Amino acid sequence: MTGADDRCAAGDACLDVDVALAFVDGTLAPGRRADVEHRIDVCARCRAVVAAAARADTSSQPTISARRAWRRAKSQPSASDLAPGAQLGRYVIERPLGAGGMGVVHLARDPELRRAVVIKLVRPDAFTGEDRDDLEHRLRREAQAMAQLSHPNVVQIFDIGHHGDRVFLAMEFVSGPTLDSWLIERARSADDILAMFRQAGAGLAAAHRAGLVHRDFKPANVLVTGDGVAKVTDFGLSRGIHPGQVPGRETLALPRASGIHTVLTHVDAVVGTPAYMAPEQADGRAVDARSDQYAFAVALVDALVGQNPMKRTLDVTERTRVTAALEAAKLGPRARAAIVRALEPDPAQRFATLDALLAELAPAHQVRWWPIAGGVALCGVAIALWFVTRTEAAPACVPDAPKQWTADARTRLVAAFAAMPPPPGTPDALGLPRPFAGWTGAAIAGELDRAVTTLGAAEVARCQHQPTVDDACLAHRERALGETIAALPGALDAPWPLVRGLDRCDAAPVATTTSRRELRETIAREPDASRAIARAEQLAEQARTAGDDALAGDALEVAATRAVATHDMVAAERLLRALAATGERAGDDAVRARALLQLLEVARWNGEHAAAVRDDDTLASLLARHGNAARDVLPIALQEAATFTDVGDAARALAAWDRAIAAAQALAAADAELVARTGHALAHDVLRFDREAARRELAAALGTSKASAPIRAEALVVAADLALDADDAAATKAYLADAHALDPSRASGVRDRIRLARLRALAGDPDGALDDLVKLRATLTDLASPILVDVARAEILRRAGRLADANDVLTPSYYAIRPFAPGQATDGPRLALADRLAVAREHCTLAVARQTPMGCQYELVTGLHPHAPQKVRFALGRLDQARQQKLDMLAVRELESVLETYREVDAPALAIADVHWQLAQNAKLYDERARREHAIAARAIYEAAHRDAEVAAIDQLLGGGVAPAGSATGSADPWATAP
């Protein structure tokens, strides 16, 4: 193999699309054909490019098809084309590059500036009537706008002129492939793709800042130079909209084909490509820069997952699948969240600008500018001070502003914010400072840095007799700055009104700290939660109208907290989304983070995995932006761990518990560490079906913890639950006694009284336990708690064999809280998804025990995460149902579902072996090869665990015999190893 071939096989010199098309079309030179054939033999990537060219048609490979049309047009030039050497203005034509419906494209030479240019010559019959009369005016106006846009990532327009009755444009010549060709020429890493798209995005964003909207962004409209620089081309500047025809739809509104857009469009391209169109563009609604943002995100997803835009296997509207695919492509949470947000159907939910999206796609090691802006500003003032004090002509020109705002004052202020306690009325069981308060402190300090810099410059200008503001204004600004710096330590709860308006010459805005306190007190005093929430929303709207985003955010946050506390999750989500948007509009990341943190709790309550993933990725991006400090990581990790545990995402939950433990240890926060270690231990039982591992881990955590009494009591109660579920009465009794000794108030709580009743039944006194629960139920006034009591009563009755009584007790509660599917509203009592599923599981278990298996409704959990362990528990119920009804095929399907999840969550090996063994014994439904594979997999695990009886039974089956029906192995029950 030659050196060139070695490079090709390594992906450094693979065939490009043009060569592949020429090879397929038979127009490649004979000598070159031999080289291409050799490359096809040795290089998989070259084979892929040639295969794509060979099967290209207008429906499946639009880019390659356009290239083929371009090549054919080039090989058959029109009689009206300019011949090589012809003069066009000052440009000399060298050769045609292509032709299309609007005109001909030529490569030309500019003799004056000695550079190559691209000439796009518009056909004289491209427009008729009024359009033709208006064409030159529009082209000239739009070309002038484009010419003003000088950016390294935009193809520049140099000139516009006439050739007879035809208009032409002279443009920058880019020698290189389009971005779509660049993507398929060889394998590209996610980092390389992101870097190239960031370049293209920078050009697109520059156009937006200049007031231009592309309207047809796609990889085919981005050129890549030989130096690896992306340049966006083919901008569309028209704002008119008219209905146009698109294959596959009767009508589809597209941007008006006018002005420069029609001239710069690739051959055979559609004005506005449906594969990349934002929903508002496809529907004929108004489009703006956010529509380009959507197209940019669609193209980026296609590139990262390697899919053809005309034959997508991943629908970009399915945000959960997009997130999973991007995660598989090794994208970090910050970039994933940004891309998914840019794909929002509602333009208002996307980023306000493409620049904001690009900032989120920047590499994690890049430092955001604003945290260091203060240091830069102070350095600037210091340099100015040095200069003016060294100038003999103005020895006294020293600004006063920096004297009030020293580096020490800045450090003290940021530290004061970082040490803020939670707001009044917020439960703070872990004794931690207010999350994300340090972010607000840094942002406030940055505002003061800017104010000091501008005021110092004005003071020096006045001293040098070059005043930019009058003396009265300057004096007012100096006084306002001093008052603000002095007042901030006492106004940490409401700092923004103090620091905004420091450049104004009239009275500075008065801080609204008092009205904020009144707001909280007013809402807290209102006994009716709905009225309190409505009043807070009204105040938020009034504040937003007045331009006070800080007060609006405060009102929304108070209302949302009240909604979460009263379990009105519909109102809570609405308020929290509005709060997050307010924080983003005000540039306050701390507000956004607090909103997203509570949205995770809403997702946990409702069991909405997709929403949890989306909000969690956004939180991770904010954390990365602010340095991933342990004090900020901890509250997020605790919340995301609890959320993903409840929605059944084992991988995310366990990783979050690990982050919470590490952050708590870094902060020496003993209470938080025990909470995190308790959650991590419980996750072994809830998510991995390994109760014994959970009990061991929690016992170890309790043995070494120095946490406070209430936190230790909570961990002991979790240990009691694990022991109770394992039917270990002695351990349950000991754990509950220790918990109540540490925190006596717990013993009177509803859930602990339910635990004590279940323990009494387990100890052999079910009648006494039932009496306790009946008495407890009679004292309850809320709607939700009686349901939890009835679930415990039904379980005790079922275990005692009183199935009809159990059904009578449970049925009213079961129907009171339907439906159970995640995210679905119910008119009944407000219960978290975990509690609603507990009702459903008990109802299912009871139905199977009563031999009425149709009552076990597996469909209740269909909205859960695809691998949620809750589905395993329902599948096990369905398995018993299938056995009762002798539905062998259904039983196999449920076992396969269980096995898939067991593998996904790394369940105990013996649990996996039991499922393999049961599948192996379904000889009627499995071919011999599959049956043996299951048997061998089970045997390996049993042998390692020294389970000799199972090994012998499997050997008998593999030797041709069949294990006896009803033997221990023949009737192995996953309930024996799974909770």
Would you name the residues annotated as active-site residues?
Answer: 216
User: 456 and 399 in contact (C-beta within 8 Å)?
Assistant: yes
Could you say which DSSP state residue 438 is in? H
Q: Which residues contact 266 (CB under 8 A, 6 or more apart)?
A: 66, 70, 100, 220, 221, 234
Q: Which residue is it, tokens 């439904």?
A: 925
Burial class of residue 444, CB neighbours in 10 A (0-12, 13-18, 19+):
buried
CA dihedral 543, 544, 547, 551 (to 10 degrees): 50
Give the chain's largest Cα–Cα span.
Answer: 108
Handedness of CA 667, 670, 675, 676 (dihedral sign): positive
The CA distance from 60 to 23, in Å, is: 20
SS3 104: strand
Nearest-Å Rg of the Cα atoms of the chain is 35
Could you say which DSSP state residue 154 is in? B
Q: Per the structure block, which two tokens stand in for 623? A: 């954390």
Q: Per the structure block, which two tokens stand in for 283? A: 């529907």
Q: Which of 820, 787, 790 is nearest to 807 (CA)?
A: 790
Q: One-letter amino acid identity for 783?
A: L
Phi, psi for 98 (deg, rounded to 5): 175, 170
The CA distance from 304 to 311, in Å, is: 15
The CB-based long-range contact list for 626-632 (8 Å cut-off, 24+ gap) reads 626/371, 626/436, 626/438, 626/439, 626/442, 626/589, 629/438, 630/662, 630/663, 630/666, 630/667, 631/418, 631/432, 631/433, 631/435, 631/438, 631/663, 631/667, 632/435, 632/436, 632/438, 632/439, 632/593
The CB-based long-range contact list for 77-80 (8 Å cut-off, 24+ gap) reads 77/104, 78/104, 80/104, 80/123
Q: Which of 560, 580, 582 is nearest to 570 (CA)?
A: 560
Q: One-letter amino acid identity for 76?
A: Q
Q: Which of 599, 595, 663 is nearest to 634 (CA)?
A: 663
Q: One-letter amino acid identity for 180?
A: D
Q: Which of 277, 81, 285 is nearest to 166 (CA)?
A: 81
Q: Cis omega (within 30 of 0) on the bond before 979?
A: no
Q: Which of 479, 455, 481 is nearest to 469 (CA)?
A: 455
The CA distance from 757 to 176, in Å, is: 77
User: 118 and 108 in contact (C-beta within 8 Å)?
Assistant: yes
Q: Per the structure block, which two tokens stand in for 932? A: 């043996």
- How close are the terminal C-alpha atoms of the chain, in Å? 61
